[in-house]
């Protein structure tokens, strides 16, 4: 079993192993061609690199061996020593010792009990010997060297010497991670990613055309679908890097800024192991650096100001990264003075970015977001750090280019501010919702990134006209939809993109896609909704890059091209921010003043209305029962590279001991629940809705699997005890899905 090593030690061992692969061969070649200065320099550099890193990790034995060997090689480089067969054999023995020590570090975490004192003594004797010096030049002589003096002869083993002692018969076997790790050129990974993308496109085309064919072909296509998904996930993992790669340079930046500004600042990091695609890593380097610089310059106060306000003199900038719902959240917070909304509004008016009338209507959140306006700065003078009004607007633009969202708020405790960045794991292949826009002459398809999607709303046109269902209303001439007691601003896809719609819509329903842009929800009215699928993102051409409504394009299963919508750009084009400000004045909220919460509603067995907090829901899936497998006798699902246990809720609620039969070809509705410790797939009968309501009444539920009964939206609802279900200890007596006989 490999020892649980730090990432830095693992990287050190891998790099040393790569160098040692060629070191044996180079020493042998150097013995044959001792006048090869380039080869000698390469051997010296390898020993020097290993020695230098050993001191950082405290590997004293390894450092001592490489240090003496490096000094012997340095004598050769300066021309004061010639390479003999005996010295070459001693260097090769040292290489074997290095490999043994590395294997011990890998398997045991230490350099082992062997201190290689005998080998180090012989190396030291050679170093201190008075061997006849070669001509003083960097190139070694080709003629045979003079005979060594008696002293070194007694310290270097010869063919007649006895075999080495047992302490040097140098060697625990490696556990394998060193030999199994190789470095791959980034260009090759990019090529593999492109090929996988093309394979995903071909897979989508096969899936779309598979209907109506014989069952054997369909099974083959389903197998291809599973293999493609696993291959895609594997290639994506090869491109992943920890965000610590970007964070490593920030402590130096914070130190230099603190010195320049006369402040005391320390930086704390949490979640440096969180992984992102290499392209995302490269894209967020500059935005992260700028945000940290802003925190040090504008956020953290001078020591005397902090002391006068009751704080300690040293300020703190904290970086935190974590996965959530298929995305990565990065939070940069400080314990400084925070953001003053009134000062920000006054500064924006002073710079001519907004009028005084506009400033009066801004909410606290909108005032804080003025820092993202182009040309905005609160600095009174231009310095090497800030004051030019170029920065946070560029940060926002760059984050949005990679499909991310950036938000800034004051700390709830009243000390400092928090910048939160939400970004996708990768840019190459993303999940998206395919929508349609029908015109007089054609039908157009577009893709909405799932990261911006909140929910889907479907309204029957006839019922809306008869007052039987919520209809689209108008406030100051702008269309709105009353969504759970709040007014949701609407925009029509055809209108905002400048498409000529049908005169008489053929659909009998109104489809609203509820989206989120910069923290604000809005509804996009579309002509049709197709399906969700994983899409391969293709960049737009140079002439189209300035179109703010599109992120890129993709090729659909039928070979046609669909454009990927840039939701923040679309919202800006449709003027959703202005509509949101107006609606706040007319927003008719219902409820009893309690805070609203988001729930997913579903039906399971005889329990007609069960809710689970939405923050515990990772995904909603519909799976074929044939994909259910069994591990340790329990039903599981091979899901996104892990084994997902399944729980059939209807039988679990009843504590039924009867076998739950799953017929072949049955589609299962699965809610994937997850927290930091565990994920669980719960099988339900029907997913009903997503609601945002306040809980007006709660009483404990004396029933297995339920935590309480509540009144949610004026309707009695059972609340799932999701936290207990997600506890690390499995429910061994739970009636789970069983296979048919």
Q: Domain locations in the chain?
A: 7-168, 186-239, 242-424, 429-586, 596-739
Least confident piece of the model among 3-12, 442-451, 459-468, 656-665:
656-665
Question: For the residues 483-500, what does the mean pLDDT come to?
Answer: 83
- HSE-up (13 A, CA, CB side) for residue 235: 20
* Dist CA 57 CA 153 (whole Å): 35
186-239 maps to which CATH number?
A: 1.10.287
pLDDT category of residue 160 using cuts at 50, 70 and 90? very low
Least confident piece of the model among 186-190, 352-356, 552-556:
186-190
pLDDT category of residue 303 using cuts at 50, 70 and 90? very high
Fold of 242-424: Heat Shock Protein 90 (3.30.565)
Helices 567-574/576-586 angle, 10° precision: 70
Q: How many CB atoms lie within 10 A of CB 440?
A: 9
Burial status of residue 549 (CB atoms within 10 A of its CB: 0-12, 13-18, 19 or more): buried
pLDDT category of residue 611 using cuts at 50, 70 and 90? very high
Nearest in space to 417 (alpha carbons), one of 251, 509, 299: 299
pLDDT category of residue 140 using cuts at 50, 70 and 90? very low
Residue 548 pLDDT greater than 80, yes or no: no
Residue 16 pLDDT greater than 70, yes or no: yes
pTM exceeds 0.75 for this model? no
Question: For the residues 629-646, what does the mean pLDDT come to?
Answer: 86
- HSE-up (13 A, CA, CB side) for residue 112: 21
Residue 275 pLDDT greater than 60, yes or no: yes
Per CATH, is 429-586 categorized as 2.40.50.180? yes
Nearest in space to 611 (alpha carbons), one of 689, 681, 677, 676: 689
Question: For the residues 18-35, what does the mean pLDDT come to?
Answer: 81
- The per-residue pLDDT for 27 is 87
- The per-residue pLDDT for 465 is 52
Helices 60-78/85-108 angle, 10° precision: 150
Sheet holding 327-334, edge to edge: 264-270, 314-324, 327-334, 417-424, 405-410
Contacts of 540 (CB under 8 A, 6+ apart): 547, 550, 552, 553
Domains 242-424 and 429-586 share a fold: no
- HSE-up (13 A, CA, CB side) for residue 432: 28
Fold of 7-168: 1.20.120
Rg (CA), the chain: 33
Per-residue pLDDT tens digits for 368-377:
888 888 777 7
* Dist CA 591 CA 585 (whole Å): 17
CATH homologous superfamily of 596-739 equals CheA-289, Domain 4 (2.40.50.180)
Contacts of 74 (CB under 8 A, 6+ apart): 44
Enter the tokens of residue 127.
Answer: 């170093």
């Amino acid at each position: 079993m490999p020892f649980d090593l730090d990432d830095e030690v693992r990287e050190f061992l891998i790099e040393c192993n790569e160098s040692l692969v060629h070191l044996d061969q180079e020493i042998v070649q150097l013995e044959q061609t001792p006048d090869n200065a380039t080869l000698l320099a390469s051997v010296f550099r390898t020993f020097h690199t290993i020695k230098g890193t050993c001191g950082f990790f405290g590997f004293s034995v390894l450092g001592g061996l490489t240090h003496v060997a490096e000094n012997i090689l340095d004598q050769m480089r300066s021309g004061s020593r010639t390479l003999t067969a005996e010295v070459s054999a001693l260097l090769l023995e040292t290489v074997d010792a290095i490999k043994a020590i590395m294997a011990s570090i890998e398997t045991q975490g230490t350099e082992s009990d062997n201190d290689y004192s005998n080998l180090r003594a012989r190396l030291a004797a050679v170093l201190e010997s008075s061997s006849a010096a070669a001509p003083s030049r960097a190139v070694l002589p080709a003629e045979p060297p003079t005979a060594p003096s008696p002293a070194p002869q007694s310290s270097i083993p010869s063919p007649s010497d006895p075999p080495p002692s047992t302490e040097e018969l140098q060697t625990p076997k490696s556990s394998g991670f060193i030999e199994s790790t190789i470095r791959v050129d980034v260009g090759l990974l990019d090529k593999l990613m492109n090929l996988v993308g093309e394979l995903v496109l071909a897979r989508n085309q096969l899936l779309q055309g598979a209907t109506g064919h014989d069952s054997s072909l369909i099974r083959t296509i389903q197998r291809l679908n599973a293999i493609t998904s696993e291959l895609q996930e594997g290639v994506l993992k090869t491109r992943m890097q920890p965000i610590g790669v970007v964070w490593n340079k920030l402590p130096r930046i914070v130190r230099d800024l603190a010195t320049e500004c006369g402040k005391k600042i320390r930086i704390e990091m949490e979640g440096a192991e969180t992984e992102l695609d290499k392209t995302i890593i490269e894209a967020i380097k500059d935005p992260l650096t700028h945000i940290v610089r802003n925190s040090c310059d504008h956020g953290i106060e001078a020591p005397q100001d902090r002391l006068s306000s009751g704080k300690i003199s040293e300020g703190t900038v904290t970086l935190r990264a974590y996965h959530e719902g298929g995305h990565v959240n990065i939070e940069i917070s400080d314990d400084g003075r925070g953001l003053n909304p009134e000062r920000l509004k006054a500064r924006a008016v002073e710079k001519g970015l907004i009028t005084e009338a506009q400033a009066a209507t801004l909410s606290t959140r909108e005032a804080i977001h003025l820092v993202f306006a182009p040309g905005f700065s609160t600095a009174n003078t231009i310095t090497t750090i800030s004051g030019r009004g170029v920065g946070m607007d560029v940060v926002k633009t760059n984050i949005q280019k990679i499909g991310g969202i950036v938000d800034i708020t004051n700390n709830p405790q009243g000390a400092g501010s928090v910048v939160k960045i939400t970004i996708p794991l990768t840019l190459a292949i993303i999940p998206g919702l395919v929508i349609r826009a029908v015109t007089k002459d054609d039908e157009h398809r577009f893709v909405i990134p799932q990261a911006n999607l909140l929910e889907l709303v479907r309204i029957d046109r006839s019922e809306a006209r008869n007052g039987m269902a919520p209809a689209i209303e108008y406030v100051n001439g702008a269309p709105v939809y009353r969504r759970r007691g709040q007014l949701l601003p609407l925009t029509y896809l055809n209108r905002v993109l400048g498409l000529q719609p049908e005169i008489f819509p053929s659909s009998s329903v109104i489809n609203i896609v509820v989206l989120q842009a910069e923290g604000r929800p809005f509804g996009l009215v579309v002509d049709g909704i197709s399906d969700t699928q994983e899409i391969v993102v293709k960049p737009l051409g140079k002439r189209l890059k300035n179109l703010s409504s599109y992120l890129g394009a993709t090729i659909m299963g039928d070979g046609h091209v669909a454009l990927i919508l840039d939701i923040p750009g679309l919202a800006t084009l449709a003027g959703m921010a202005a509509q949101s400000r107006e609606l706040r004045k007319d927003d008719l909220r219902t409820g009893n003043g309690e805070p609203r919460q988001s729930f997913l509603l579903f039906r399971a067995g005889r329990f007609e209305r069960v809710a689970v907090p939405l923050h515990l829901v990772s995904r909603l899936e519909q799976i074929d029962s044939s994909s259910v497998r069994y591990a340790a006798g329990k039903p599981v699902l091979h899901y996104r590279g892990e084994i997902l246990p399944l729980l059939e809720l209807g039988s679990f609620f009843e504590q039924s001991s009867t076998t739950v039969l799953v017929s072949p070809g049955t589609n299962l509705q699965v809610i994937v629940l997850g927290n930091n410790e565990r994920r669980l797939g719960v099988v339900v009968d029907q997913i009903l809705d997503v609601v945002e309501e306040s809980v007006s009444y709660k009483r404990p539920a004396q029933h297995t699997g339920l935590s309480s009964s509540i009144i949610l939206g004026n309707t009695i609802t059972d609340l799932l005890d999701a936290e207990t279900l997600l506890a690390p200890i499995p429910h061994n007596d739970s009636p789970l899905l069983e296979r048919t006989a």
